[in-house]
Amino acid sequence: MSIEKVGIIGGGTMGLGIAQVCARAGISTTVVKATPGDLEKPRGKLQGALAKAVDRGKMAAEERDRILGHITLTDQESAVADCDLIVESVVEDIEIKKALFRRLEGICRDDAILATNTSTLSVTEMMAVCTHRQRVAGLHFFNPAPVMRLVEVIHGFETCDENIQALTEFCKRVGKDPVQVQDTTGFIVNRLLTPYMLNAIRMLERGTGTIETIDKAMLTGAGVPMGPFALADYIGLDVVIAMSRNIYEDVRQSHHAPPHTLVRLVQLGYLGVKTGKGFYDYSVKPAVGNPDLERPVI
Ligand SMILES: NC(=O)c1ccc[n+]([C@@H]2O[C@H](COP(=O)([O-])OP(=O)(O)OC[C@H]3O[C@@H](n4cnc5c(N)ncnc54)[C@H](O)[C@@H]3O)[C@@H](O)[C@H]2O)c1
């Protein structure tokens, strides 16, 4: 099937990033704000990200206008009724996502593909609440979506091969490098990256080094673009703790459970870059790392 209209549920970091990716490829994109509140907030974030890209000379003003022209922001889920593909990118909570999939089945065409951008949750568990299960899949973009090339195309237990193929072709069309993955907790990248971030936090708790020295060591010694703390803050500590809990729930090995410091920061609402404070306090100074990645623009 040809994907010409995309609906995105959730106007957070990832929802808006995925919208930019689709719109840049000329695809008509509708973003549904998933929680009550003013549409001006996501609109401002979207315009701000694109304005930065223009200011830094990474995008022409005409390109920005063209992208914005392809994006519709709304708070009505019914606005995705005629979309060929709907990608949900709401908070990482299985019950919220399952309830959303149930509602989407009542709204969307029977042949529309329903995809989740979940980081670690089971695509198959979301599929299980649907009647047309063959159309449910994972489409896992990486943060920042306009920059990162990988998309994991996730094959749930009953996803049909035609839809996996259609999603793979779609990813290529929007300029991404897809890999097909079976539905297992954390898929490929987060199954490897989550324990890495948790190990760094435990290393901090043991007193091996500070946040800065551990990040600097990985940055300059392992050649990664961000150290583990800058990365966790960038992903969002609420997302990191959800990934940790989901992997722990699956494998039941204690070293996958969220470390104390991560739990406390999330309890305090320090979620990283998006709240201005996490392992780093961004009102004081930026994280150790590649300055371009700390505040990425398109
Ligand atoms: N942050 C990352 O690095 C990253 C990368 C890939 C995938 N993801 C996944 O993308 C999804 C969204 O993450 P994000 O980073 O954009 O988070 P975010 O905090 O920026 O956005 C969360 C979104 O969920 C919505 N939301 C919050 N509470 C809700 C509720 N009770 N019911 C319905 N919607 C609610 C918000 O309105 C917002 O649109 C998650 O599943 C996450 O695991 C995140």
The CATH architecture that domain 5-182 belongs to is: 3-Layer(aba) Sandwich (3.40)
Ligand 1 closest atom vs CA 236:
1
Q: Which CATH superfamily is domain 189-287 in?
A: N-(1-d-carboxylethyl)-l-norvaline Dehydrogenase; domain 2 (1.10.1040.10)
Ligand 1 closest atom vs CA 238:
19
Question: Can you read off the two tokens belonging to residue 126?
Answer: 């979301």
Flag whether pLDDT at 43 surpasses 80.
Answer: yes
Cα(74)–Cα(164) distance, integer angstroms: 28
Q: Collapsing DSSP states into helix, strand and coil, what is residue 281?
A: strand
Mean pLDDT of 275-285: 94
Instruction: Please work out whether the CB of residue 34 comes within 6 Å of at least one atom of ligand 1.
Output: yes
Residue among 9, 13, 21, 238 to mutate when testing ligand 1 (max atoms within 8 A of CB): 13
Output the pLDDT for position 295: 46
Output the pLDDT for position 292: 52
Cα(263)–Cα(63) distance, integer angstroms: 42
Helices (H), 147-278: 161-173, 189-206, 211-221, 228-235, 237-251, 260-267
Ligand 1 closest atom vs CA 97:
33
Cα(54)–Cα(52) distance, integer angstroms: 5
Q: Using 50, 70 and 90 to split pLDDT, how confident is the model at 192?
A: very high
Question: Can you read off the two tokens belonging to residue 267?
Answer: 């309890």
Mean pLDDT of 22-42: 96
Q: Is 167 exposed, middle or buried (0-12, 13-18, 19+ CB in 10 A)?
A: buried
Mean pLDDT of 34-54: 94
Flag whether pLDDT at 145 surpasses 90.
Answer: yes
Question: From the CA of 250, how far away is ligand 1's center (Å)?
Answer: 21
Question: From the CA of 253, how far away is ligand 1's center (Å)?
Answer: 26
Domain ranges, ordered by start, for the chain: 5-182, 189-287
Output the pLDDT for position 206: 98
Output the pLDDT for position 298: 35
User: Are the C-beta atoms of residues 247 and 196 closer than 8 Å to each other?
Assistant: no
The length of the chain, given as a count of residues:
298
Ligand 1 closest atom vs CA 116:
41
Instruction: Please work out whether the CB of residue 91 comes within 6 Å of at least one atom of ligand 1.
Output: yes
Question: From the CA of 209, how far away is ligand 1's center (Å)?
Answer: 31
Dump pLDDT digits (tens) for 203-248.
999 999 999 999 999 999 999 999 999 999 999 999 999 999 999 9
User: Are the C-beta atoms of residues 118 and 187 closer than 8 Å to each other?
Assistant: no
Average pLDDT, the chain: 95
Please identify every residue annotated as catalytic: 119, 140, 152, 190
Output the pLDDT for position 297: 39
Residue among 103, 116, 239 to mutate when testing ligand 1 (max atoms within 8 A of CB): 239
Four-CA torsion 53, 54, 56, 57, nearest 10 degrees: 120
Cα(50)–Cα(40) distance, integer angstroms: 15
Q: Using 50, 70 and 90 to split pLDDT, how confident is the model at 26?
A: very high
Find residue 206's DSSP bridge partners: none
Output the pLDDT for position 286: 85
Question: Can you read off the two tokens belonging to residue 120?
Answer: 């670690």
Output the pLDDT for position 49: 94
Each residue of 124-157: b (16+ CB within 10 Å) or e?
bbbbeebebbebbbbbbbbbbbbebeebbbbbbe
Flag whether pLDDT at 293 surpasses 60.
Answer: no
Output the pLDDT for position 291: 55
Output the pLDDT for position 8: 98
Output the pLDDT for position 289: 76
Question: From the CA of 11, how far away is ligand 1's center (Å)?
Answer: 8
Output the pLDDT for position 296: 42
Least confident of 158-162, 214-218, 230-234, 284-288: 284-288
Dump pLDDT digits (tens) for 62-111.
999 999 999 999 999 999 999 999 999 999 999 999 999 999 999 999 99
